[in-house]
Amino acid sequence: DKSGLALSLASVSNPRGSSPPHKGAEELLLRQGGATMRASTSKWLDAGFAKNNRSELMITLRAGERPPAALYMATANDASKRDPAAWLVHGLDRCGDWAPLSSIKGYKAPLA
C-alpha cells in the first residue's frame, strides 16, 4: 500500500506456466499469522517461458484490500536472461473487465 506495507493476497498463480518443485508462483507467498508478508527470498521459476514466450503471474488480493500503490520485484543473480525486461499490470474494473494499470518496456535490471 502507499505506506509501504505488503498487501494481503488471496492467491498467486502462473497460468499456462510450468515450474519445478518448490519454484511455483505460490512460493512468492509467505503467510504469517494470517497475513501475507513480503518474501524476497522466495523464488518463482517459469520453465514454460521459452514455449510461451512470456510468463504470467496472476495475483489476487483479499476481498476489501486496496489497490497496490507500488510494485516490488527482486531478481536472482544466476541467469540475467531470465530477468524481466517488460511487464504489464492489469486490474479488474467495476464492470469486471481487465484495465491496464501500468506498462513497462525496455527495463534493464541492475547487475548483482
SS3 assignment, position 51: helix
The pLDDT score that the predictor gives to residue 43 is: 77
Task: Tell me the average pLDDT across 70-97.
Answer: 83
Strand partners, 87: 104
Q: Tell me which DSSP letter residue 69 carries.
A: S
Q: Which of 64, 52, 58 is nearest to 29 (CA)?
A: 58
Task: Tell me the average pLDDT across 65-82.
Answer: 78
The pLDDT score that the predictor gives to residue 32 is: 45
Tell me, yes or no, if the pTM score tops 0.75. no
